[in-house]
A and B are shown apart, each in its own frame.
Chain A
Amino acid sequence: MATIQETETTVLGACPHDCPDTCSMLVKVKDGRVTGVQGNPDHPFTHGRLCAKTNHYEERVYHPERLLYPMRRSGPKGSGQFTRIGWQEALDTIAARWKSIIAESGAQAILPYSYLGHEGLLNGLTVGDPFFNKLGATVSERTFCDSGACTAYIMTVGPTPGMDPESLAHSKFILLWACNMLSTNAHLWPFVAEAQRNGAKVVVIDPFRTRSAQLADQHIRIRPGTDTALALALMHVIIRDGLVDRSYVADYTVGFDELVEHVKPNTPAWAEAHTGVPAAVIETLAKEYAQSQPSAIRIGVGIERSAGGGQLVRALSCLPALVGAWRKPGGGILQLPLWAFPMNWPGLQRADLLPPGTRVLNQWELGRALTGALELDPPIRSLFVYNSNPLIVAPDQARMRTGLAREDLFTVVSEHFVTDTARYADILLPAATQVEQDDLMFSWGHLYLTLNRKAIEPEGESVSNAELFRRLARVMGFDDPFFFRSDEQMMRESMDWANPALAGITLESLAGKGYARLNLPPADQFAPHANGGFPTPSGKVELKSSIAAGGNFVLPVFRQGSNEFQDGSPAALLPTWIPPREAPKSNPALAQRFPLSMLSPKSHSFLNSEYANLARQVEREGPQHVLVNPADAASRRITEGMPVMVENARGAFRAVARITEDIMPGVVLAPLGYWAYRSAGEATPAALNPTAYADLGRAPTFSDNLVELRAAP
């Protein structure tokens, strides 16, 4: 390793991003400036690596276009013209507008909009919740990611970490289902590779030949939105051929007899007709999955994004119990090991401050809510955006743009850069980056708690989100000392330190090494459900779900802690096939006009829209492109590199065609994240995405989306 010069110090940090890997980051500082970052070589999961997004985090911190001062709009909405102002003027402007809006229309006329632009316990998902709950603003239902999978998983096995991701090294069979691990969960791959070297078979199920599919033993291509049919057929074969772990099922599941009847029609031939996966492949997959114990299923976060995405995760959460996979370390299903962290959610969100009856608005409704297409009383008069860039990541882009352009809408955006959304702000507020603030990080991809230490003073006048909400509480006249806690006090109150999972871990001990593994058995012994013990109402795997009987819901953690105005629509008690809304088979009329299914996954070098404005990452990824199968390209006379329009009834965007067998016929793939005002057109892939909910947890249906391609004019 390079020798460290005397004036260079290393500060222990943590990657702030919404990524399961939550890397422990070494931040090199010289003369008060960050000179570079590196993955912590001592951390058992980070293993000395960061990623294509964050390797040069200092380029983000010192970027010449970074937003460093509060700004006031000085041109038409959306023009991106701003004038620097001071913090006091910014805060006074916000307070004056909000106080008059509240007096005239009530606090529900104010809508916060945020998600996981930061993942820390201080500055992340919940940072604004106590403030907006106290204010009585409309509750934002944030179902960007995993909400549908969470509802389905909890209906089946309860909020259990289930597997230690590191125990995949001990698996004998690994099914990566809708999970492009090498781009979105790359630090887990070495554990999969170790299992593979030890003889485990790795199978990838994806319409796209991902990097992970290239390294797997088998890649099964499946038509988008049809995976539930495959999962049910796997159950059918496992039951039909007596591959069931009878004693595990008898002792630790409920509803087996009904499931047996339920999946009788779901033969491999039936599934082949829906999925395009040959029946023989399904037969073999079922046998190998059942007979290679311990077997593991890793699902990706995009898995929920079609009409029946929730039922798919219900089915997949049932499978490990049928084959007894939970008996050994390395067996089960890996959804969110986040459930292992004893978080103090009530204290983080403070739903107790929320006036009863406060309305809840799902984030897919933003375009309609801002334009009056959704009748709201009072209408939304002010929007406060932080930790999110809805214009690029949320659906209904065209309508959202119209809504954001409303002269009477008072919009405040806190950001690192002037994003497409930020261009529509009346007031812009500069947010600190991770090296300029402290935080404590949970993980949804491993079992380590990580402390992020501030490495440098904030550039310009940027502030952490925690400080932002202290300032807002002050100008809004809040007097509860809760709103003025120090960062350290907030960290202390963010978790339940008395929980056994945190035994032996303190903020002080974290300061030494930067991270600590939760007090749980090591990966080679981690089998919490070897003898049942599922945190469900019955204590068993609920093949037939008692929670589902109560109807569909979104976990309160995704809705500022509120449990009012839940969806409540009926949910099937047994995992059930729901066809995609937009597919040639289920909607032939629509497919006549728009015959191709579009996927819009994360790009390898961007995290949603983050980094899509940075030269290094953009150079790697090239311009907005769309992957097209040669057959689909030929029938449209589209050639490699040709500019094309991708369109459906909701919108259109411009892209460069890349022709490849990596994408299956009938499907196109357009990576998400590119900034509209920096790209060729006004729109990006999100413009085509539907706003319709998936069946559970109000997950989006971005992969249930028919489009057509044509040569660009």
Chain B
Amino acid sequence: MTHVVTSNCTGCRFTECVTVCPVECFHGDAERLYIDPGLCIDCGACIPLCPVKAIYDLVDVPAAQREWIAINAERAAPLPVMRAKQAALPDAEAQRVALGFA
């Protein structure tokens, strides 16, 4: 089973989440992150660190976001592992405000 990064992450990539992951299962492209479901141990540590509440326990993913379950599973593994915190994308702060997490 796994945790899932949903839509709020796109264009944001604060990457607060990756430093706490014990199994380095976050992978990223230019825009956002994905969790490798084969490795995630469901520890839940990343959830409270995400400033835009993008991460859910698979069991809790809202109906409108469930497409992200398959997208994480498909895209994560081939992309590079993200272990250290990166600089957020330039528009991340504005997007956070727009998403209502000021």
Given contacts A190-B22, A193-B24, A619-B59, are A55 and B39 in contact (CB under 8 A)?
Answer: no
B79 within 8 A of A: no
User: How far is A382 from B20 in the complex, measured between Cα atoms in Å?
Assistant: 49
User: How far is A47 from B57 in the complex, measured between Cα atoms in Å?
Assistant: 19
A616 touches B48 (CB 8 A): no
Interface residues of A in 661-691 (CB under 8 A from B): none
B1 within 8 A of A: yes
Contacts of B22 in A (CB 8 A): 47, 49, 186-187, 189-190, 193
Minimum CB–CB distance from B44 to chain A (whole Å) comes to: 4
B20 touches A49 (CB 8 A): yes
A498 within 8 A of B: no
A604 touches B23 (CB 8 A): no
Contacts of A51 in B (CB 8 A): 41-44
B45 within 8 A of A: yes
Given contacts A2-B48, A38-B48, A187-B22, are A55 and B42 in contact (CB under 8 A)?
Answer: yes
| Closest B residue by C-beta to A187 | B22
Contacts of B73 in A (CB 8 A): none
A52 touches B23 (CB 8 A): no
User: How far is A2 from B50 in the complex, measured between Cα atoms in Å?
Assistant: 9
Minimum CB–CB distance from A186 to chain B (whole Å) comes to: 6
Interface residues of B in 29-53 (CB under 8 A from A): 38-39, 41-45, 48-49
User: How far is A1 from B41 in the complex, measured between Cα atoms in Å?
Assistant: 22
Minimum CB–CB distance from A208 to chain B (whole Å) comes to: 15
A183 touches B23 (CB 8 A): no
User: How far is A211 from B41 in the complex, measured between Cα atoms in Å?
Assistant: 9
User: How far is A49 from B23 in the complex, measured between Cα atoms in Å?
Assistant: 12
A186 touches B41 (CB 8 A): yes
User: How far is A55 from B41 in the complex, measured between Cα atoms in Å?
Assistant: 12
Which of B24, B45, B49 contacts A1, CB < 8 Å? B49
Minimum CB–CB distance from A189 to chain B (whole Å) comes to: 5
Which of A38, A55, A187, A211 contacts B57, CB < 8 Å? A55
Given contacts A52-B42, A211-B41, A215-B39, are A47 and B1 in contact (CB under 8 A)?
Answer: no
B24 touches A48 (CB 8 A): no
Interface residues of A in 177-200 (CB under 8 A from B): 182-183, 186-187, 189-190, 193
B interface residues, tally (CB under 8 Å) = 17
User: How far is A73 from B41 in the complex, measured between Cα atoms in Å?
Assistant: 40
A50 within 8 A of B: yes
Contacts of B44 in A (CB 8 A): 49-52, 55
A1 touches B48 (CB 8 A): yes
Contacts of B58 in A (CB 8 A): 620
User: How far is A193 from B22 in the complex, measured between Cα atoms in Å?
Assistant: 8
Minimum CB–CB distance from B30 to chain A (whole Å) comes to: 25
Contact with B along A130-156 (1 / 0, CB 8 A): 000000000000000000000000000
Given contacts A38-B48, A39-B45, are A52 and B20 in contact (CB under 8 A)?
Answer: no
A81 within 8 A of B: no
Interface centre among B38, B44, B49 (most CB of A within 10 A): B44
Contacts of A193 in B (CB 8 A): 22-24
A22 within 8 A of B: no
Contacts of A215 in B (CB 8 A): 23, 39
Contact with B along A611-640 (1 / 0, CB 8 A): 000001001110000000000000000000
Contacts of B48 in A (CB 8 A): 1-2, 38
B49 touches A620 (CB 8 A): no
- Residues of B whose CB lies within 8 Å of any CB of A are 1, 20, 22-24, 38-39, 41-45, 48-49, 57-59
- Residues of A whose CB lies within 8 Å of any CB of B are 1-2, 38-39, 47-52, 55, 182-183, 186-187, 189-190, 193, 211, 214-215, 604-605, 616, 619-621
A51-B43, A51-B44 provided; 16 other pairs, C-beta below 8 A? A39-B45, A47-B45, A48-B49, A49-B20, A49-B43, A51-B41, A52-B1, A52-B44, A55-B42, A55-B57, A186-B41, A193-B22, A214-B38, A215-B39, A616-B59, A621-B1
Residue contacts A-B, CB under 8 angstroms, 11 given = A38-B48, A47-B22, A48-B20, A49-B43, A50-B44, A52-B43, A211-B41, A214-B38, A619-B59, A620-B1, A620-B58
